[in-house]
Chains A and B, each alone.
Chain A
Amino acid sequence: MTVLDHLPILPVAIPALAAPLTLLAMRRYPRLAIAIAFASCAAMLACALALLVQASGGAITVYALGEWPAPFGIVLVADRLAAIMLVLAAALALIALLHAVLTGIDRKGWHFHPLFQFQLMGLNGAFLTGDLFNLFVFFEVLLIASYGLLLHGQGPARLKAGVQYVVVNLVGSSLFLIALALLYALTGTLNMADLGVRVEQIAPADQGLLRIAALLLACVFAIKAAVVPLHLWLPRTYDVATPAVAGLFAIMTKVGVYSLIRVVPQVFGDGAGAAAWAPAPFLMPAALVTAAVGFAGVFTARSLSEQASYAIIGSTGTLLIAVAGWETAMLGAALYYLVHSTIAGAALFLVADVVTRRRAGAADNCSPGPDFAGRQGVGLMFMAAAIAATGLPPLSGFIGKLLILKSVTALPDWGWAWGVILVTTLFGVIGFARAGSVIFWKVTQGDTAAAAPPRSDMIAPAIALALLAALSAGAGWATAYGDAAAAQVFDRTATARAVLGEGAP
């Protein structure tokens, strides 16, 4: 065994080791703790890129923990989709961490860095695991870390939002467990690849129960993805969270979307009888309404961070429109848009923070305020982030939306999808233009601006925007990888063979 053989476990092991080290170092040697945190994120990014290269040929790396073979032991499965999500999570983590350190927000409490690492551990584990119960456990890991991160910095507003966020997620966890119990009672396994094989042998009388399990699981993932009508927890939570944390949380809704993409084709695919594609008929209308509600929120938001929260909901809706078709071409487009919308959402939160730090009393409210230092530069940045979030050329959002529009024409009711995506884009454009013009152009005279903070806080959002530009420039390569990943997701038998050995049907 070489280190390379253990590559799939490293994205989980690195933050698990780094978290206690940062906890120990933070009080006496804060610089050392920050260095550990950065080193951990950089190592994660390196591992994720190595996995991305490893999976590019179509190889599915299966890592059996403790060498226990697949249906009995827990396995980690690193395929193209998992590799994409890992790279995205690691890149986003580096940006969020950089912003937190540069703005000094990580010093507001002792436990920012350990919680941040545990959050990443949960995220990476959720992306890698091939076992449904293990997915639940990693969900809990990332959730309990996110509760701590959300409350970082204290304040009554955060506590109020925190109570709601925790309660909603606890109910979601309970539903998850009920669905798992149903699945285990019916099939006697919780390994995803094994489940995909066993559901075909379920008696017709029991297929109703399987359908309930499928819909419950879809509900749980919809809560995480903030799909209407289960989205109400998100705007309040993300609005009050520390901006660097909100930037990292941009990937949390995508965990729900990822789980849908992973579980539905694998377990509730064509072989599942009455439960085959059970969530599909509900997902499309929900996705359309989610996109509409999200961008309507962008239109009516009263502050930049609230606007960014609604932009996250809207982008999840747009993303799910493409996912809900359950076709390879649409899923390929969706994966490209997923990467784009996560980074764009994070960029919006970070730019909102840059504005807040400069406008003092007016914060990031959409109301005229005093002139502030670097108004043009920040305004330009906001424009770029808004262009990315709404999907205008030249940034990658345009390419993503174009790909989604092109691929959904295969659906019978594609008119709805086109109508909603195009109209919500218009709403988004107007909403962002209104907020930008009020904040950056309407300057009240006579007010004194706050002392200009150092310009270093503009580095992290600039990197996020640069990543989006790179995603546009490398769109050919990225979409090819996304299409290949989508094809791999729908190829159930290949995954089952890789996980369960050659003997699997």
Chain B
Amino acid sequence: MTYEFLVASAIGVLVAGAIFLALRARTFQVVLGLTLLSYAVNLFLFASGRLVLNRPPIWDKTVTEYTDPLPQALVLTAIVITFGMTAFVVILALRSFLETGSDHVDGDNVPSDDSQQEKGE
């Protein structure tokens, strides 16, 4: 198992989970899906500078080999932006739930999973 395989499969699993969750009908799961997707994207951005071990991104007297610092800067920007966006969408989903009484993405009044289970019992 190489380091590359580990990172690649991690990104793959995260994206698969993200797509599954983002296609769900309730806002909470969709938000979780978006969060997973942003994790995957950040890892992918980071990997675009190639995966190297034990090399600093910034200048150091004692070393001659460096890793690419730009993807790390890009990832930082992307993390900040997605964090802000996720915080916003959480608040928005919460407000939408409180005002409409439904956490459905379509905003339609569908009976929740709990009430269906109660009916079944």
Chain A residues near B (Cβ < 8 Å): 133, 137, 140, 144, 147, 151, 155-156, 159-160, 162-164, 166-167, 170-171, 173-174, 177-178, 180-182, 184-185, 188
Contacts and interface: CB of A to CB of B under 8 A. Distances in A.
Interface in B52-94: 68, 70-71, 74, 77-78, 81-82, 84-86, 88-89, 92-93
B107 interface: yes
A133 B76 CA distance: 12
A166 B47 CA distance: 27
**SS class, residues of chain A in contact with chain B:** helix
Nearest to B81: A140
B85 A164 contact: no
A174 B74 contact: no
B31 to A, nearest CB: 8
Most chain B CB within 10 A, of A140, A156, A166, A181, is at A181
Most chain B CB within 10 A, of A163, A164, A174, A185, is at A163
B94 to A, nearest CB: 10
Nearest to A157: B107
Most chain B CB within 10 A, of A144, A147, A173, is at A173
A400 B121 CA distance: 64
A167 B84 CA distance: 13
Nearest to B68: A188
Interface string B38-53: 1001001101111000
A364 B106 CA distance: 24
A126 to B, nearest CB: 15
B113 interface: no
Interface residues of B, number: 35
Task: Return the 6 tightest CB-CB contacts between A and B, nearest first.
Answer: A160-B107, A181-B48, A185-B48, A159-B96, A181-B45, A156-B99
Given A167-B34, A170-B34, A160 B100 contact: yes
A170 B84 CA distance: 11
A171 B27 CA distance: 14
B74 A167 contact: no
Given A162-B96, A167-B34, A144 B84 contact: yes
Contact of A156 (B22, B38, B100): B100
Given A170-B34, A171-B37, A163 B48 contact: no
Contacts of B84: 144
A437 to B, nearest CB: 33
A133 B74 CA distance: 8
A173 B92 CA distance: 18
A159 B41 contact: no
Most chain B CB within 10 A, of A151, A159, A182, is at A159
24 contacts: A133-B77, A140-B85, A144-B85, A155-B99, A156-B99, A156-B107, A159-B95, A159-B99, A159-B100, A160-B96, A163-B27, A166-B88, A166-B89, A166-B92, A167-B22, A167-B34, A170-B86, A170-B89, A173-B82, A174-B37, A174-B41, A181-B45, A181-B47, A182-B48
Contacts of B93: 163
Contact of A170 (B71, B85, B100): B85
B8 interface: no
B7 to A, nearest CB: 13
A167 B89 contact: yes
A184 B74 contact: yes
B81 A137 contact: yes
A173 B77 CA distance: 13
Contacts of B100: 156, 159-160
Contacts of A188: 68
Contacts of B85: 140, 144, 166, 170, 173
Contacts of A177: 41, 44-45, 78
Given A144-B85, A159-B92, A167 B71 contact: no
Nearest to B31: A167
A153 to B, nearest CB: 13
B90 to A, nearest CB: 10
A159 B74 CA distance: 31
Contacts of B70: 184
A167 B88 contact: no
Contact of A164 (B44, B99, B105): B105
B78 to A, nearest CB: 6
Contacts of B41: 174, 177-178, 181
A144 B88 contact: yes
Contacts of B89: 163, 166-167, 170
Interface string B16-47: 00000010000100100010011001001101
A159 B89 CA distance: 11
A172 to B, nearest CB: 11
Contacts of A164: 105
Contacts of A184: 48-49, 70-71, 74
Most chain B CB within 10 A, of A137, A140, A174, A188, is at A174
A447 B86 CA distance: 48
Contacts of B38: 170, 174
Contact of B105 (A163, A173, A174, A180): A163
B88 A147 contact: yes
B34 A171 contact: yes
Given A160-B100, A185-B48, A171 B77 contact: no
Nearest to A185: B48
A153 B68 CA distance: 46
Contact of A167 (B30, B48, B107): B30
Most chain B CB within 10 A, of A151, A177, A188, is at A177
Contacts of A173: 81-82, 85
